[in-house]
Structures are given as C-alpha cells and as structure tokens.
Structure 1
Amino acid sequence: MAVRVCCVRGSHYQVGLQIGRAARRQIAEYLDRHHVFANLLGILQTDAGRILYDGYLRAAKSAYPHYVEEIVGMSEGSGLPFQHLFLMHCQSEMVLMFTDDCKPVTEIEGCTTVFLNVQNGPRVMVHNEDGDSLVKDLGYVVVANIDPYELPNGEVIPAESFTAFCYPGLLAGNAYSFNLHGLCSSGNFQMAKCVEREKIPQRFLCRALLSATSVEQAVSILRTEGVAMASGYSYNFVSTKDRTNNMYSVEVAPAEGVAGNMVSVRAIEPGDGQTDGRYNHYNLYDHLDTPHWRDLSSEHRKARAAVMEPLSTKQDVLKFMGDTADPEYPVYRSQTRNDVFMTTSTGVFDLEAGVLEVYTDNPSKRKEPDVIFLLPV
C-alpha cells in the first residue's frame, strides 16, 4: 500500500494549516469513525469532563503554546472544531481518568518495540505502531521544516526539521520519527495508575521531543521542573550521532502532586559477548517502579517472545514483529475477538544502512518496505 507523505514548511500555525488542508478527508473520517471519540465527547459534556479538559488546555498553552498553534492550524485547515482535535490529544488521560479500577484497560493503543544492538553486527530499532484500524488507511508521514518561534517571555525556540508517521489530526511524535539531528524515536503508551489533572497531556511531550538534538537533551526535557506529564509513556531512542552506539528505553510516569516526572533510563549497549544488545518493550513498565494497569496484549506479546529463538538478525526481528501464532493477542495485531487494535505500520530504523524503512503490511511477509527515508548522519 502506498504511504501518504505530506511535506510542510513555515510557522507552527502554517504547518498545522497545511497538514489540515492536505489531510482534511483523513482527519474528518478518523474522528467520525474512531471507536473512542464519541465516548470522549460524552465525557466532555459532563462537568467533571469539562473541568478536566480545561485544565489540560491551560497546561498545554502554558508549556507549549507553539504546539497548540499547530492544532489551531490543523483545525482551520481541516474545517473541524479545535475542541475536537484537542480532545483527541487528551484521549489517554480521559480514558484512564474514567476507568473502572476493577477492569483491564481496553481502549488505549499499544505498540511493540524491539532493540537489536550488536557490535560489528546488526543495529536496528523496530517498532510496530498498533492502534485503531483506521490509522492503517488514514495515517500519513509528515516531513516538516518549521520556523523558529518566540515565546511570550522572549525566549526563541529553534527551528525544527523532522519526519514522522502521524495519526490523522494529531501532533507528530507519538509514533516513530526522526529529526535533522539524527535522533530516532518511537513510543509505547504506559498505563500508569497515577493520572494527574492540570498537567500536560503526554502527546505534547511526544511532540516536544522531536525538537531534541540528542538523547541527553530529550531526557533533560522530560526531567525539566515544571514540565509535568499528566499520564505515563515510554520513549525509545537511538541516535545516528551517538558515539557510544547505545540505544535507550526511557520510561516516564507522573509524579503525584509534584511539578515534575519520574524518569528511568535504560541503555541497551552494543552486544559484545559481555552485554546482550537485545531488548523488547511493550505497554508495561519494565524498569520504572510505578503502579500500572495490566495490558493483556502486552503480556501475551512478551510471553510469545520468551518462547521464540533469540533474535540475532534484522530478519529475525521482522519475523517476530510479524508473528501471528497467538490467536488471541498476536504480536502483529489484527483485530482478533479479544483485541480491538491493529498493527497499522512498522517502522524499521536500520542504523547500519542509515535508513528508516516503513512497512504498511506484515513485515515478515514482505520482500521490500513500502518507502525508505534516509537518516541524517
């Protein structure tokens, strides 16, 4: 299937406007048919939901007014209400805030990320983007060059340049992406039981990390006092310019009642016989100790990995990412009876080849990716 690519340039507002115009049909269809959006609108009609929404909007405007301007642009370009688009940026927080304590969470997208980091061998970070099935046909890649932005206090935010797989109507950054500085990233939603009000929806932190010049700066953004996430997330990083050749898993959770985040960094060092160089991440906290919801799909994906042969080559990784042996919760998700989500695409960061490969169908059954992007070196 062809990959839709949207090339945009200008201010944050102008970039949002161009995306909104180019993807008007996709954004409208996504909101019209999204399995959770109607529920979110219902929550917004309640007093509690409106208070929650207003608090998230205040926090986003305070920390990241330039990214709010991108949503304003998308709203005007697509002809859809700003309130509806911003509401989708609060989906994770709204769903978790109104979740029954006794039930597993079933309305949050989840992903699988595999790191294979071998000294003098394959160096790949591969990500299955799992979400609403609509994204498979309606998602798109944004290639953006954004002008500097002056904050109200006079501070100037540098220009940005990135390539990112995007959900219709959502800010870039919550799927797989890379920027001009060679920072490659993907994300896994983490269902921390602590969900905070009056803090920044996690999708804005995802967007902010696209501006980072290095893994160290990305972690610094997450640890900045006053930049507090409302819900949990996990970030996966590798840089084409990191001389250590490490890859990184960074888990983040809200710090209850504090204007900051809990952050845990795990380095996946190059495997050399002493270190393994292999690591998988799902929608479960692995190295940050914080209470979180169960995710049955993640538990099944993790169990499947445990009984397969250790991954040693890029093809091994693609075979695992396309695995469908578990009929209830396969690694390559396909809307089974128990699992409402689907693997919408697979992003393969191949550091040896210096490319991002995108597969829109099962990568274990494809000879070639649908599109290839060159990574900055």
Structure 2
Amino acid sequence: MPVTEIAGRRQCIPILYTEGTHYEVGYDMGKTFSGMIHNFLKISTSLNHCYLPCYETSEGRKAYEDTLNCVKSNFPQYIRELEGIADGAQVPFHKLFLLHMDNIIAYPCRKECEAKPQGCSSICLNEKGQEILGHTEDALSETLNHYYYVAAHIISDKPEGKWKVTEEKFTSLCYAGHLPGYTMGCNHHGLVYSVNTISAKVLRPGKNPRHFITRALLSAENFAKAQEILRDRGCGVGDACSVNMTFLNQEGNRLFHNAELGPADKTDESQLNIFTASPGEYFAHCNKYLRTKLDEADPEMSKSSVCRMEAFDKHGSPKTKKDVIEMLGDTSNSKYPVFRDDPNDLVMTIAVGIFDCVEKTWSLYSDNPKKNDPLVVLPLVLQK
C-alpha cells in the first residue's frame, strides 16, 4: 500500500527524553527522528539552493572550514553532539553544519538566499501573579511538522568546552537536524528563554554561529553566566539574534531581560545590548533591533517586525496570560500577522510556547493559541 503524506498542520509535537554523553544524546536525536531529518534536508530551500552551492565555491569552503575550526576550538562537545545527530540519522555532517552556519556561509560568496526566515515574536509580561514569557516559533513554511522537543540530561566525565561544563539538563524545541537551543527552552537552573532571529548586514565567518552560542546558553546557571556566554569574549558571534529570558530561581523580584546580539565585527566579542523589565512592566521583541545601532540586511523582515509590533501596540499593555495569548494569536494584519497560518506564505508559525513562571509550566501549542488548547503542558523542573 502506498504511503500517503498528511498535508497541512499536524496536531503533533514529538518529545524525546534522552540521557548520556553529548554524542549519545545527539545520536538518539538523529536515530529517533531520522525520517524527519532526511525529509527536511531534501526539501530545505536554503540548504539546497543557497548553502550547498556556496559550500562548493572556494570562498564558501574557506568560510565553512574557518567557522568549523572556531567552533571545534570553543565548543568541541557540541560538534560531537552534531556528529551524533548526523550518525544517528545517517546524513552527511557538513549538511547539518551548514544549517547551523545559516547565511554566514553565503556572506563571502555575496549570494542572496531566495528563502530567508523572517520569524518569531516574543512577549515578556511581569505583573504580580502573571509572570509570562510567550513566544511564536516562526520559520520557513517547509519547516512545518519538521520539529520536535528534546529533554536531555548530559553528564561529562570532565569539564567540556569554553565554559568548562560538566552537566546539562534542559528541554528545547529543535528543528529537524539541528542542535537544541536556537528556539525556546529551559534548563534545570531555572533559565527560561526564547530567541528571535535578526538579519545583520555584516556577517563574520570564522566566529561562533548564533546556533552554538544559544546551545551554550542552555548550560547557564544564572544571568551573569548567560551574559558571559552571549558576549563570548575571545571570539564573539558571527551573526545576530535577540534572546528573551528570566531565571525562575533568582533572588528578589522577577526580572525579564532582552539581549540584542550583534556580530563581533573587528573585535573578539559579541556586541551586546540588554534591556530589563522590572515588576509592572512588559516588553515585546520580533526580528528587528530596537536599541542596537547596526545595519540590517532584510527589509522584508524589518517591515514584518514593525507590523507585528504595531499589532501588539493596538492591544495595549497586557496584564494577564490570556492577554499574551490573544496578542500572539493576532491575525489582524493579513500580510504580516503575528500568528502565521497561510500555507502559501514563505513563513509560518510552527509552534507557540507560553512559559508561566508562577505556575512553573510550559504550555505548547501547535496551532493558534487564541482558538486552541495546548497540546501539552510540561512542568518546569528545577535542580534540587
């Protein structure tokens, strides 16, 4: 009997629980989701029409080797993790690494990628009894149904990498074939966070790609360590993003932070600008710098971000979790909605997460949260 592919948005969020070394955890991810990873590599427009052609040029190959050597030097354990994914799924390692380099591989080739991500909207609400981080995970439409959640416990027999980490315990949404970290997630130290892609005009091969910086963020024990990881002194990030975060077990009042991250241009550390929301405040962030003065490369991404922020403003300042859900489910702008559900559009919202820092839960939606209940509500488990 022929296998029929189910079209459209599926009401399904696979979750893998795994424990072991970095390589073993990566292998489990690759083995478990092999079919999904194979299919994603086959249909990925960015990989097949931009990254791989650039990889075949002398300029692109140099950028690849310089960046790979940099990551091996700073985060060898995450390279082993990615090798585990490649081996488990039986796919070429270089294809997975190219996905993590993203447009860094295209920069020296001066190649404009046809399909560029434009997504993710985050809201942090800091009201008494209503301490919420909400996030839409937006990605190229081909990514729909090509993601999963990984809950991992990694123990090393010796300190690993730049930050000498011996243990990591976290849960993260992962795109097929990608390392955990560059989406939304939490760890057993109480870190809760989401990531918004930003398209910087100047990119830097030979630096740490943002995917590896946010992978390292999953090891952060406190806000001071999170800042240290993002700043990445001695190297710096090669591209750009923003991170929205809080720590559940911090002392004193709840604080939410937005960190805008820029490429290490002619320096050995990331450009970093941090905004903090105290009790009684809220902030939203999409895919455009709000404070950092850096040129951006994608006008469409900027326009989309402005429209989504305008949609948020029309709601006024949120006061409750319900308000945040209403805002993240907003479709009032037909061309640039907050929740994107047009299968003919370049970008779709593939999932929504609502972190409740009071109840210590993470609600996961695969559809518009205004109209649907979460598919699952996970507890945020902290280190004892």
State TM-score, norm by structure 2.
Answer: 0.90
Establish whether residue 17 from structure 1 lines up as the match of residue 21 from structure 2: no
Compute the displacement of 1:346 (Å).
0.4
Aligned ranges for residues 195-274 of structure 1 at < 5 Å? Answer: 195-243=203-251, 244-271=253-280
SS at match of 2:310: helix
Quote the offset at 1:201 in angstroms: 1.1
C-alpha displacement of 1:308: 2.8
Name stretches of at least 5 consecutive residues in structure 2 with no aligned partner.
1-10
1:193 Cα deviation (Å)?
Answer: 1.6
**1:297 partner amino acid:** S
Q: Are the equivalent residues in 2 in contact too, given 1:116–1:125 (CA < 8 A)? A: yes
Deviations 1:95-114 (A, max 9, x none): 555567xx998512421000
Give the corresponding residue for 1:284.
288
- Percent identity over paired residues: 29
Distance 2:171 2:32 in 1: 16
- Separation (CA, whole Å) in 2 of partners of 1:96 and 1:215: 32
Contact 2:106/2:113 (8 A) holds in 1 = no
Matched, 1:334 2:341: yes
1:347 corresponds to: 353
2: CA distance, partners of 1:347 / 1:72: 28
Say what the alpha-carbon RMSD is for the aligned residues.
2.1
Take 2:78 and 2:129, find their aligned partners in 1: how far apart are those partners?
39
Determine the structure 1 residue equivalent to 2:7: none
Of 32, 35, 48, which residue of structure 1 is paired with 2:59? 48
Closer, same or farther: CA 176–142 of 1 in aligned 2, 3 Å? same
SS in structure 2 at match of 1:263: strand
Whether the aligned pair in 2 keeps the contact of 1:128 and 1:346 (CA below 8 Å) is yes
Structure 1 alignment gaps of length 5 or more: 272-276
Change (3 A) 1:343 1:155: closer
Matches within 5 A, 1:74-113: 74-95=85-106, 107-113=116-122
* Distance apart, 1:223 and its partner CA: 2.2
Structure-2 separation of matches of 1:66 and 1:76: 15
Q: What is the letter of the counterpart of residue 19 of structure 1?
A: M
CA distance in 1, matches of 2:366, 2:347: 15
In structure 1, the residue corresponding to 2:145 is in which secondary structure? helix
- Which piece of structure 1 moves more, 15-24 or 285-294? 285-294
Change (3 A) 1:364 1:95: farther
Q: Distance in 1 between matches of 2:190 and 2:82?
A: 25
Give, in angstroms, the shift of residue 344 of structure 1. Answer: 0.4
CA-CA distance at 1:224 after TM superposition: 3.6
Report the CA distance between 1:226 and its aligned residue.
Answer: 1.1
The 3-state SS of whatever aligns with 2:59 is helix
Query: Residue 159 of structure 1: SS of its match in structure 2?
Result: strand
Corresponding position of 1:306: 313
Cα distance in 2, alignment partners of residues 286 and 104 from structure 1: 25
